[in-house]
Structure 1
Amino acid sequence: MLHHPTLDRLQQLRLTGMARALAAQAQQADIGQLGFEERLGLLLDSEAAERESRQNAARLKRAKLKQSAAPEDVDFRHPRGLDRTLFTRLMASDWVKAHQNVLVCGPTGVGKTFLACALANQACRHGHSVLYVRLPRLLPALALGRHDGSYAKTLAQMARTEVLVIDDWGLAPLTDESRRDLLEIVDDRHGCRSTIITSQLPVPHWHTAIGDPTLADAILDRLVHQAHYLNLDGESLRKKGKPV
């Protein structure tokens, strides 16, 4: 009973993690064996964990990932050429701190988007802002944005995002306007942000796919030199009914 006013006060202060932990402590018969500082430490740990959970949930919501892919759900047994050592190292997200890129290439159905979203999910867990886009939808949206006034806002949002996931790179021919938009995006991020790109095309084919040699040189120079490569092959995971 003595805890009720304290619980109410914690809720009013939005210290819900501490309130929940205090209520749990009240149900523990041996809690009195702990000193004040020990119990306070447990309450603070609970509050910190709850705040981090809420913040991560908010980051994931803003990221708009196509798939709710968790790193622990990645299948390393399927024969698709996934470098487990490299992928595990990428899970530490040091590449984000170093402003490096990750390029995921392979045929359809081998899990490129799932792996990209898993890396993005892990980056969120480490406190980084993330945004997922599909290139076939992004480029028309940017073209429309030139007329409705949202172009600069969209570019600014992508520029300040710490990890930008660009899915389905190279699916369709690019217009000159699209090539220049891509250059704006990668130039804003070069040396200060990280980008994950998925593509069915191997990286050596990207130059031809971009179309204009001069713009292709400029775009790829900003993407490929500070990048980690996940080159996949093998049969589609969809045949086995697995998430890809």
Structure 2
Amino acid sequence: MSGRRKKLTHLTHERLAALGLTGMAKAFEEQRRSPDLDALSFEERIGLLVDREAAERDTKRLTTRLKFAALRQSACVEDVDLRTPRGIDRAVFARLVNGDWINRHENLLVTGATGLGKSWIACALGHKACRDNRSVLCGRYG
């Protein structure tokens, strides 16, 4: 690579970072170091840069929502074992996971005996809501 091209590449990377396009800057560096990407068209390479930036921003927003939510446990709805005898109906749980109840401004009260995993299920639903771009705040009552 010529000195001029190297300097332009460095300036482009710095400019992307200065503009807050960290995902694009990372993808730009990866593309620059990968000889296999020369086979891609200009449009395909730009598409990869834009996709990376969008993914980085989505990840950052999710991380911020999860931090604000202050979920006490790391749980996700995909890990909920409905075979465990908790008295949860599969259809009801599927509707809760869907989240339409949140859109309708309905409340959810999780009750049951000690040790059934009520907090874990609540955290799993909160995590799913965060992934669905909803704001969550975890609180404990009683």
TM normalised by structure 1 equals 0.52
Tell me if 1:15 matches 2:21.
Answer: yes
Equivalent residue number for residue 81 of structure 1: 87
In the alignment, the residues of structure 2 paired with residue 76 and residue 29 of structure 1 have an alpha-carbon distance, to the nearest angstrom, of 48
In the alignment, the residues of structure 2 paired with residue 15 and residue 123 of structure 1 have an alpha-carbon distance, to the nearest angstrom, of 26
Tell me if 1:48 matches 2:48.
Answer: no
Equivalent residue number for residue 65 of structure 1: 71
Equivalent residue number for residue 132 of structure 2: 126
In the alignment, the residues of structure 1 paired with residue 85 and residue 96 of structure 2 have an alpha-carbon distance, to the nearest angstrom, of 20
Percent identity, please.
52
3-state secondary structure, aligned to 1:130:
coil
Structure 1 or 2: larger strand share? 1
Q: Which amino acid aligns with 1:58?
A: T
In the alignment, the residues of structure 1 paired with residue 92 and residue 105 of structure 2 have an alpha-carbon distance, to the nearest angstrom, of 17
Structure 2 gaps of 5+ residues are 1-5
Cα deviations by residue, 1:20-47 (Å, 9 ceiling, x for unpaired): 1112222332212222222111111111
Tell me the CA shift for residue 111 of structure 1.
0.7
Structure 1 or 2: larger helix share? 2
Superposition RMSD in Å: 1.7
Structure 1 gaps of 5+ residues are 137-244
Tell me the CA shift for residue 5 of structure 1.
1.7
Q: Which amino acid aligns with 1:69?
A: A
In the alignment, the residues of structure 1 paired with residue 37 and residue 18 of structure 2 have an alpha-carbon distance, to the nearest angstrom, of 25
Aligned length: 136
In the alignment, the residues of structure 2 paired with residue 29 and residue 63 of structure 1 have an alpha-carbon distance, to the nearest angstrom, of 42
Equivalent residue number for residue 3 of structure 2: none
